[in-house]
Amino acid sequence: MNAVVLPRTSIWPRRLQRALLILIAVAFMLVFLLLPLAVVFTEALAKGVQTFVAAITQSGAWSSIRLTLLVAAMVVPLNLVFGVAASWAMARFEFRGKALLGALIDLPFSVSPVIAGLIYVLLFGAQGWFGPWLDAHGIRIIFAVPGLVLASIFVTLPFVARELIPLMQVQGSEDEEAARVLGANGLQMFFRVTLPNIRWALLYGVLLCNARAMGEFGAVSVVSGHIRGLTTTMPLEVEMRYNEYDYAGAFAVASLLALLALLTLAIKTLLEWRYGDELAAHAPGGR
Amino acid sequence: MTLELSHLKRRFAEYPALDDVSLEIPPGEFLALLGPSGSGKTTLLRILAGLDYPESGSVRQSGRDLLAIDARRRKVGLVFQHYALFRHLTVAENVAFGLRVRPWRARPKRADIAARVERLLQRVQLQDMAKRYPAQLSGGQRQRVALARALAVEPDLLLLDEPFGALDAQVRVSLRRWLRELHDEFGLTTVFVTHDQEEALELADRVVVMNRGRIEQIGKPDAIYQDPATPFVCEFVGRVNRIAACCEGGKLVAGGLVLGADPWDGRHDTAIAYIRPEQFIVAAPDDGEAWSVCVRRAFGAGGTVHLVLDAAALGQVLEMDIFGAERLRDTWQQGACLRIRPRHVTVFPDGIHPAAARACEPGIVASATRPMAVGP
């Protein structure tokens, strides 16, 4: 009988452990992620659907959505090109200052976004280094869309490169050399060999970059000037409405922003599900 | 079409990867570049492929300057050590790659490409795997895909970097015989890099032994094995016993036994004698012209018996191999004593070597010299 009792006593604590760990994880997610998300949507709809619709069809809301998408549409491709170029340089070549370049790519992670915004104000603002020259040529950067783009590029700069560099270092340059010896030119090598090898990491990087570009508040807030309808992105619009005691309006825009984030997540999940087999087959060293 | 490499030099930082390497490769030859890691053999291969360039020296093929031709136009087939198959492409797409990237005018028709890919896959016995991805293949299959991909562009020169390095021992042996047959059938000039002397000796028409960026010896496998040109070749290629000897009165002596005439007419006092484990003869018990040895350990390995012998006269351990019917004798038990003498000795002059000086005195046990050198 002992032999039967023994496993029971040894299994129970393990089951308990497992249940406890799952409970902690789920509770944490519930309190810190799902609950706020639920609050955003319930508050947005608290005063009825009509108020919600009215809040998001206001010209201010509409222009903030357009501006957010515009900034993301400019920031993401620029960072994509920069990220691929920087990763290529870091992973394929040895050069002086390589460590410095690596540190610089990581800089936006360690610098507060507010400081990033401030740097651009100091450079391109009316009293900044290039301010008078820009003014003389009628170019507006601060308190205008270019400033928003610059600040967003700064904060999202590491996302693509940091995703690609480790992968490209592990993969090495043999595939590319093989392509060259087989007669491929530079473009063929990049589009037929390099890009397919890094596409999943690139996609992750781009999605992260996009999410951050749309949600960035600090750096953008400094350079924006909060001109409603002209330089307020969605996060800024949320804050302005909140400060104006327009809670329903603030939450309505916030819910849209949350929806955009959920959409990004959905796209990522869909792609993973659609190409999951391929992803598994291409895992390094996988059979 | 002879490939002429002359005075190639290449440094990495302060380390010379190639130090004045000259070599001629006649068409259709199967050449092995053999050497330890860091000997420069892979650098030489990469220079031939156009993936690396020497600081000085030239590579010419029937008057053409090969170094002036970019890797993608050089018509070279290269198989990487880890194959470098494109993991997002199927086996058939991998093989077709070199044809598909050709400029529009030189590109074969779609149907011709498909036909050629199918023919090649048949030749490497992978016709059923055409639709698989590299990740779904075994090591040996991947290697064959890499080979088919390299052959698809109809290269003038086939280069293989450690072609069997990543394979199991069994697959390795069968695959290298198969590769040799393939070479004979295509008649391509083939250069392969290896650190495995057995592989080089078995496969190649000629072997180039490299060490520290220099060529130590070029020769047929037999010559490399039987008549090594330098101590390095002797120790690197195959197992060998390293014995201190001395030159005295026009004779070469080790452990009281005359190995032969002094080849240097007294210009050197001491020498190192190399004897391969299979180059010993068992002498009669009363034969004076032999070393007396006792069996320390005997390893039976199928058709061969490997003996580890204590040679008191030399003050060192000897390794000896016995083949054929000889191995069935019961003299090879542990503790048994017998008399042996070398059948073939390779000698090189040595600097001042105290043990060698003492080796002249007959019957006197020299202090323990270095244990025998075994191949890597």
What contacts A261, CB < 8 A, 6 or more positions away?
A211, A214, A215
- Distance from A161 to chain B by nearest Cα, in Å? 22
Q: With a threshold of 0.90, tell me whether the complex ipTM lies above it.
A: no
B101 vs A282: CB contact, 8 Å cut-off?
A: no
Taking the C-alpha atoms of residue A214 and residue A233, their distance in angstroms, rounded to an integer, is: 8
- Distance from A209 to chain B by nearest Cα, in Å? 25
Interface of B with A in 290-329 (CB under 8 A): none
At A156 the pLDDT is 92
Residues of B in contact with A96 (CB under 8 A): none
Taking CA atoms, A89 is separated from A86, A165, A169, A266, B124, in Å, by: 5, 9, 11, 32, 37
Partner residue facing B101 (CB), from A175, A188, A197 = A188
Partner residue facing B101 (CB), from A182, A281, A283 = A182
Query: Which residue in chain A has the smallest CA separation from B152?
Result: A182
Q: Does B153 touch chain A (CB under 8 A)?
A: yes
Tell which of B83, B101, B117 to mutate to test the A interface (max A CBs under 10 Å). B101
Tokens 């590109």 label which residue? Answer: B107
Residues of A in contact with B89 (CB under 8 A): 196
Q: Does B136 touch chain A (CB under 8 A)?
A: yes
Tell me the percentage of chain A whose pLDDT exceeds 90: 33
Does pLDDT of A278 surpass 70? no
Query: Do the beta carbons of residue A164 and residue A195 sit within 8 Å?
Result: no
Query: Which residue in chain B has the smallest CA separation from A183?
Result: B72
At B246 the pLDDT is 83
At B372 the pLDDT is 39
A241-257 mean pLDDT? 87
Tell which of A181, A185, A195 to mutate to test the B interface (max B CBs under 10 Å). A181
On the CB side of A172, CA atoms within 13 Å amount to 12
Q: Does B80 touch chain A (CB under 8 A)?
A: yes
Tell which of A167, A182, A185, A203 to mutate to test the B interface (max B CBs under 10 Å). A182
At A284 the pLDDT is 46
Neighbours of B174 (CB within 10 A): 11
- Distance from A101 to chain B by nearest Cα, in Å? 22
Three-class secondary structure assignment of B194-263: ECCHHHHHHHCCEEEEEECCEEEEEECHHHHHHCCCCHHHHHHCCCCEEEEEEEECCEEEECCEEEEECC
Phi, psi (rounded to 5 degrees) for B259: -85, -25
DSSP A41-106: HHHHTTTHHHHHHHHHHSHHHHHHHHHHHHHHHHHHHHHHHHHHHHHHHHHH---TTHHHHHHHHH
pLDDT, tens digit, for every residue of B323-341? 877 776 767 788 888 899 8
Look at residues B204, B265, B200, B271 and name the one whose alpha carbon lies nearest to residue B233. Answer: B200
Does pLDDT of A5 surpass 70? no
Taking CA atoms, B247 is separated from B270, B358, B359, in Å, by: 6, 11, 10
At B76 the pLDDT is 92
The amino acid sitting at B50 is G
Does pLDDT of A255 surpass 70? yes
Query: Which residue in chain B has the smallest CA separation from A174?
Result: B84
Q: Which residue has the higher pLDDT, A53 or A6?
A: A53
Q: Is the dihedral of CA B363, B368, B369, B374 positive or negative?
A: positive
The predicted model scores a pTM of 0.78
At B287 the pLDDT is 78
At B55 the pLDDT is 92
Q: Which residue has the higher pLDDT, A127 or B100?
A: B100
- Distance from A105 to chain B by nearest Cα, in Å? 28
Tokens 């249940």 label which residue? Answer: A19
The β-bridge partners of B218 are B208
What contacts B352, CB < 8 A, 6 or more positions away?
B269, B270
Neighbours of B240 (CB within 10 A): 23
Q: How many CB pairs under 8 A join A and B?
A: 73
Partner residue facing B153 (CB), from A175, A182, A196 = A182
At B301 the pLDDT is 66
Taking the C-alpha atoms of residue A143 and residue A117, their distance in angstroms, rounded to an integer, is: 11
Taking the C-alpha atoms of residue B304 and residue B315, their distance in angstroms, rounded to an integer, is: 26
Helix (H, G, I), strand (E, B) or coil at B270: strand
Q: Which residues of A touch B (CB under 8 A)?
A: 174-175, 177-185, 188, 192-193, 196-197, 278, 281-283, 286-287
Q: How far is CA B119 from the centre of its chain?
A: 32
CA dihedral A158, A162, A164, A168 (to 10 degrees): 130
Which parts of chain B have pLDDT scores under 50?
356-357, 362-376
Structure tokens at A74: 């400019």
pLDDT, chain B, mean: 85
Q: Does B87 touch chain A (CB under 8 A)?
A: yes
A145-164 mean pLDDT? 91
pLDDT, tens digit, for every residue of B174-233? 888 888 888 888 888 999 999 988 889 988 999 999 999 999 999 999 999 988 999 899
Residues of A in contact with B102 (CB under 8 A): 183
Taking the C-alpha atoms of residue B304 and residue B322, their distance in angstroms, rounded to an integer, is: 6
Strand arrangement, sheet containing B270-275:
B257-261, B251-254, B241-248, B270-275, B346-350
Partner residue facing B86 (CB), from A175, A183, A283 = A175
At A286 the pLDDT is 35
Taking the C-alpha atoms of residue B305 and residue A250, their distance in angstroms, rounded to an integer, is: 88
A183 vs B101: CB contact, 8 Å cut-off?
A: yes
A182 vs B135: CB contact, 8 Å cut-off?
A: no
Residues of B in contact with A196 (CB under 8 A): 86, 88-89
At B255 the pLDDT is 83
Phi, psi (rounded to 5 degrees) for B32: -110, 135
Q: Which residue has the higher pLDDT, B150 or A284?
A: B150
- Distance from B23 to chain A by nearest Cα, in Å? 22
Strand arrangement, sheet containing B280-283:
B280-283, B337-342, B291-301, B304-311, B316-323
Q: Could you tell me how many helices (H) and strands (E) chain B has, helices first?
A: 9, 20
At B57 the pLDDT is 92
Q: Where does the pLDDT of residue A178 fall: very low under 50, low under 70, confident under 90, or very high at 90 and above?
A: very high
Partner residue facing A282 (CB), from B78, B88, B102 = B88
A206-224 mean pLDDT? 89
Q: Are strands B30-34 and B15-25 parallel, antiparallel or unpaired?
A: unpaired
Partner residue facing B71 (CB), from A174, A181, A192 = A181
Taking the C-alpha atoms of residue B345 and residue B343, their distance in angstroms, rounded to an integer, is: 7
B149 vs A193: CB contact, 8 Å cut-off?
A: no
At B374 the pLDDT is 38
Q: Is the dihedral of CA B256, B261, B265, B270 positive or negative?
A: negative
Look at residues A213, A184, A133 and name the one whose alpha carbon lies nearest to residue B84. Answer: A184
Tell which of B81, B86, B91 to mutate to test the A interface (max A CBs under 10 Å). B86
B370 φ/ψ sector (left φ>0, alpha ψ -120 to 50, else beta): beta
Query: Do the beta carbons of residue A122 and residue A44 sit within 8 Å?
Result: no
Taking the C-alpha atoms of residue B234 and residue B21, their distance in angstroms, rounded to an integer, is: 20
Query: Do the beta carbons of residue B121 and residue B59 sit within 8 Å?
Result: no
Partner residue facing A183 (CB), from B87, B102, B133 = B102
Tell which of B72, B75, B90, B113 to mutate to test the A interface (max A CBs under 10 Å). B72
Query: Which residue in chain B has the smallest CA separation from A178?
Result: B84
pLDDT, tens digit, for every residue of A7-38? 555 677 888 999 999 999 999 999 998 998 89
Query: Which residue in chain B has the smallest CA separation from A182?
Result: B98
